[in-house]
Amino acid sequence: MRLHHLLPALALASCADAAPPPAAPAEPPVWGYKVVKEYPHDSGAFTEGLFWSDGSLYESTGLVGRSDVRRVRLEDGKVLQSAAVPPRLFGEGIAPWGDEIVSVTWQTGVGFRWDRKTLKVKSQFNYPGEGWGMTGDGRSIILSDGTAILRYLDPLTMAERSRLTVTAAGKPVLNLNELEYVKGEIYANVWMTSRIARIDPATGVVTGWIELGPLAQPYASGDPDAVLNGIAYDAAKDRLFVTGKNWPKLFEIKLTKPARRR
């Protein structure tokens, strides 16, 4: 028997037995929203961080010489308390921890612990890299730095515990900014877009986008820096709030399910 006569058949069998290439990860579904209520918001607030606690909104603002941490009354947007970040620093995200507020700054690696009742600085700490947004999951402080990576920090020492790379359809999601922990998910503003990423904290995979383009367009069209940035969740009343940099309004929204794919 001449073996070379069998080679074409063997090649065909080999091709038939080969596993098909893996399917590309699916694009995350896109959630919509409906506005439940509108509230006044300080249009001079360059919003960097936002959270809800004890019946009040807490907000941090940015820009060198203008950054602060503040407590805000939801109903009329009135600033009830505020404390300035040192004028050489650019304030960024905030997160609650116990009776404190933890805050970071942009490129200076300096963070602060504030007494939540008095908004007085209790202590200062340092960390490597940039600080953008923050939230907490009850165990760790979660920090974004403008990349696709979220850093999990020890709430007491601010030492890094672990990292989570965020991906959508298999690709890293860059420019992760303001964060909020909502019902076991991490919500993240993506800087310079009108979308919020819904992130599975176990895998880093974006399970869905929240598209807020129509909400953001009236503000961002007049000022390229007036982007969507600011997410707060009232767990007791299941209320989700969003706003943006220098927006005159803050919105309570309800998510609407994605359109069914064909």
Token pair in block for residue 185: 């998910």
Give domain status of residue 126, yes or no.
Answer: yes
262 pLDDT higher than 60: no
2 vs 38, higher pLDDT:
38
- Kindly indicate the confidence band of residue 223, based on its pLDDT and cuts at 50, 70 and 90: confident
Confidence of residue 22 (pLDDT cuts 50, 70, 90): low
- Given this model, what pLDDT does residue 195 score? 96
How high is the pLDDT of residue 17? 56
Q: Is 5 within the bounds of a domain?
A: no
183 in a structural domain: yes
Give the rounded percent of residues in the chain with a pLDDT score beyond 70. Answer: 89
The predicted pLDDT at position 25 comes to 75
d(CA 60, CA 135): 13
Q: How does pLDDT run across 177-216, given as a tens digit for each residue?
A: 999 999 999 999 999 999 999 999 999 999 999 999 999 9
Q: What CATH number did the domain enclosing 156 receive?
A: 2.120.10.30
Does some domain include residue 62?
yes
Q: Which of 69, 193, 216, 72 is nearest to 134 (CA)?
A: 69
Query: Model confidence at 26, in pLDDT bands (50, 70, 90)?
Result: confident
Residue 19 domain flag: no
Q: Predicted confidence band at 220 (pLDDT cuts at 50, 70, 90)?
A: confident
Task: List C-alpha distances in Å: 252 to 112, 166, 232, 261.
Answer: 29, 26, 9, 27
The pLDDT value given to residue 23:
64
In a domain, 117, yes or no: yes
Does the pLDDT of residue 133 top 60, yes or no?
A: yes
Query: What does the chain come to in residues?
Result: 262
- Tell me if 186 is assigned to some domain: yes
- Residue 1 predicted with pLDDT over 90: no
- CA dist., res. 18 & res. 37, Å (int): 56
Q: What is the pLDDT of residue 80?
A: 97
Give the 3-state secondary structure of residue 209: strand
pTM of the model: 0.89
Mean pLDDT score, 116-141: 96
- Residue 70 has a pLDDT of 97
165 C-beta neighbours (distance < 10 Å), count: 13
Does the structure show a pLDDT above 50 at 15? no
Number of domains making up the chain: 1
pLDDT at 55 over 70: yes
Q: Domain limits at 79? A: 25-256
In a domain, 93, yes or no: yes
- Confidence (pLDDT) at 11: 47
